[in-house]
A and B are shown apart, each in its own frame.
Chain A
């Protein structure tokens, strides 16, 4: 008798999901955001289809405002996995110069939500893998693993398809699509543990180092390039920081930390007292139910 560990069970479930989509969808794609969850999802895809490379491309919906380290890792992982990398930047957002400093919530809406919809429509993808987890946020806890979207990418939380056993319904009409979340049942700790056990490459920003920062509205922001508009008298300060989640650098709060290795990062996570999305501005605009509302509009 072999007692499978919880990570082995989670891995088997995720691989099963990845293969079901490839078997049943016409044009799958993997949404790759370069964060730790994406890193695990990509690794699982490589395991699922080995010795073939994963039979779908990676899609990065870019906002042009990610950390530089993220772009570097993205390009490296695409090379190493043997997968095609598609990078999409919403041309309208580019033309209007939409940025997180001047445009607030519009930045996320145009670059991410609209950009994603445009990219999916452009390439005609009918199934998109995403690295969301149910433990992240309350509306995610109720979303199916195969999450059906209308032709206009809308999500109807009241009218989700029942999902029984490990039988996923991938049937859909032309124009409709499915968002698939293979790591739905993983927790933040599972992710870190799995990265540790499998030696999965992640962006160095997750580890502590001296980085130039400024403090704004109680958040520590990293000055990652010279597009960061400093206020009069504001001078970047070198602090020992790291990030628990990664997004657009002007919207992602750092934590002061000395954790420079994976075990130290996990240790800090276990002893910490705030949730990981707390450093993200995105969950807060729109109040209590903002993520649910964003998802209905087509956000991942």
Chain B
């Protein structure tokens, strides 16, 4: 049986050109389906594909065979097998990752993100939801609103999905009872309002039997709303709403084939643009007008949100990847401190204070996250105190970036408010977040220009500033060698300063302990102090265990490239422990001292330090000599 909503066989057969003309004007809706393992989610998607004839005979034959072999529906077709893609999950009988499906009706093409229901896979649902215009939340009519229902609704709302369909599924198993349906809707309404969902569309369906999918079902005469497909075909698209907002073009790439052409390429995130429009480039604030919108098929008179374009400007102004071209009289702001909501997606928990790559639009900066103000229990919506964010945790925290970010609140513009966090060592995408607003303190603190520059400070001392960054285990010999180095420099009339780990902890950092977060903050502060001292023209010598590669690299990034010299005092743990000058290893081994590097806290050795000192092969004096030689040359 062919349903008239889907492709019209008659038209295809009789007048293919007319059919193509219709098809060409379809719009695109992306949506997600969320539900628990047994809510019939895969079955519903399988049904949509089947009814829209996106399943071919060979696939159907395979499906029928599979249904009999491993299906859970007896001799009937198990649609779920169509969509459970990867071998491992077919064996387990669950969907474990985001999968994308495609089908089309006469009016629209649909991309469905099939997302899993298990708690440990929150990250996958957030991933699937991030590109969706609409969410279908599935409920098993026999079970009603469950913990998972709340979780899925919260996540869909968090990610900014405005259109929510509450699909009460398996109505065939409750005799299509209106009362069951009404009770579930009342339950859900109370919950939805409590988390800020102002509207949703409830419908009674059966994915298995096909009720209220393509047409209103005779089994539910009391239901007067649209069937699912018709609703999906007519709901307003986010893209349409985005066009009414102010113009924003995050610049991806500068197109410069020759000296006569300079174009700025990118995907318009909101608004529209025409030649002659006044624009402003952010963050520089420089203004110009749009001269052309260039495409392979000829120049355009107008381009709108959702289109990838190349625009030319009337003036030669600086503009490169990461900049945002915006309407001149209503530009977005730039800031470097924010309040954010972050979804953590990695097995390794957030390191508070550590520097991560942050990608927002086409901007890539370094960002550090503060201790979360709270995390949200996605099952109960309770706010909980937390020191960090573990896998699948969602928390609100303040964030600072090393350079200003051109941004808009996520609620106004997903493209300029949504970001991902990338671990600098593993390169994994570890988190995703949404900017809510900038913190005022960042905007009111400006860099004060000073007349005496760092070059002038260094020039008066007749030296080149530098940071000699010692790293190594406790007892490796850092302080001893650092002392010798400073004495030598002093004799050579060099202006230096030694920052010693223990000494700094008596003053500047006396509020810090030895947890991982405190160790990171300890190093960050020392790095900032060292940087100020190099600005004053000094040669700074630091002697800290500094066990984590990420923090040493963070300090390296703060300081001009040729001024940072990492010195690895390479003493084997057994050797350092045998020396045990301060008796600390003994305490650590007996459990009196916690978080001791090398014992119960890791030490990450440098991959390629500028200087490596093997203390089993040379004396402290020889080591100091080598280091001074490396510095003075």
Q: Which of B103-111, B556-564, B621-629 contacts A (4 or more CB under 8 A)?
A: B103-111
Inter-subunit contact B307/A49 (CB<8 Å): no
Inter-subunit contact A164/B306 (CB<8 Å): no
| B139 to A: closest C-beta gap in Å | 25
Known: A4-B304, A9-B306, A161-B428. Contact between A171 and B357, CB under 8 A?
A: yes
Of residues 43 through 62 on chain A, the ones whose CB sits less than 8 Å from some CB of chain B are 46-53
| B81 to A: closest C-beta gap in Å | 10
Q: Which of B93-101, B503-511, B577-585 contacts A (4 or more CB under 8 A)?
A: B93-101
Query: Which chain B residues border A171 with CB–CB below 8 Å?
Result: 357, 422, 427
> A157-177 CB contact bits vs B (8 Å, 1 = yes)?
110111111110101110000
Inter-subunit contact B308/A15 (CB<8 Å): yes
Known: A165-B418, A193-B24. Contact between A184 and B9, CB under 8 A?
A: no
Inter-subunit contact A12/B321 (CB<8 Å): no
| A4 to B: closest C-beta gap in Å | 5
Residue B252 lies at the interface, judged by CB distance under 8 Å to chain A:
yes
Inter-subunit contact B302/A2 (CB<8 Å): yes
Residue A289 lies at the interface, judged by CB distance under 8 Å to chain B:
yes
The 8 Å CB contact of A19, one of B23, B252, B345, is B252
Inter-subunit contact A4/B239 (CB<8 Å): yes
Known: A3-B27, A4-B306, A48-B265. Contact between A160 and B130, CB under 8 A?
A: no
Residue B222 lies at the interface, judged by CB distance under 8 Å to chain A:
no
Instruction: From B252, B257, B306, B360, name the one whose CB has the most chain A CB atoms within 10 angstroms.
Output: B252
Inter-subunit contact A272/B127 (CB<8 Å): no
> A184-207 CB contact bits vs B (8 Å, 1 = yes)?
110101100100110000000000
Residue B514 lies at the interface, judged by CB distance under 8 Å to chain A:
no
Of residues 246 through 283 on chain A, the ones whose CB sits less than 8 Å from some CB of chain B are 263-264, 266-267, 270-275, 278
Inter-subunit contact A142/B57 (CB<8 Å): no
Query: Which chain B residues border A46 with CB–CB below 8 Å?
Result: 296
Please name the residue on chain A nearest to B25 by beta carbon.
A5
Inter-subunit contact B240/A3 (CB<8 Å): yes
Inter-subunit contact B87/A48 (CB<8 Å): no
Residue A6 lies at the interface, judged by CB distance under 8 Å to chain B:
yes
Q: Which of B13-21, B180-188, B223-231, B275-283 contacts A (4 or more CB under 8 A)?
A: B13-21
| A28 to B: closest C-beta gap in Å | 12
Of residues 52 through 87 on chain B, the ones whose CB sits less than 8 Å from some CB of chain A are 54, 56-59, 83, 85-87
Please name the residue on chain A nearest to B263 by beta carbon.
A51
| A195 to B: closest C-beta gap in Å | 11
Inter-subunit contact A51/B12 (CB<8 Å): no
- Could you tell me the distance between the alpha carbons of A197 and B23 in the complex, rounded to whole angstroms? 12
The 8 Å CB contact of B308, one of A16, A142, A163, A190, is A16
19 extra A-B contacts, CB within 8 A, seeds A6-B104, A49-B265:
A4-B27, A12-B306, A13-B308, A16-B266, A19-B308, A47-B295, A52-B257, A141-B83, A141-B99, A157-B97, A158-B96, A164-B126, A164-B131, A164-B418, A270-B12, A271-B12, A288-B87, A289-B90, A292-B87
26 A-B contacts, Cβ less than 8 Å apart?
A2-B243, A2-B272, A4-B307, A5-B27, A6-B104, A9-B306, A16-B308, A20-B362, A23-B362, A46-B296, A52-B255, A135-B54, A158-B88, A162-B345, A164-B131, A164-B420, A165-B414, A167-B419, A171-B357, A184-B100, A187-B104, A190-B109, A193-B20, A271-B9, A273-B57, A289-B87
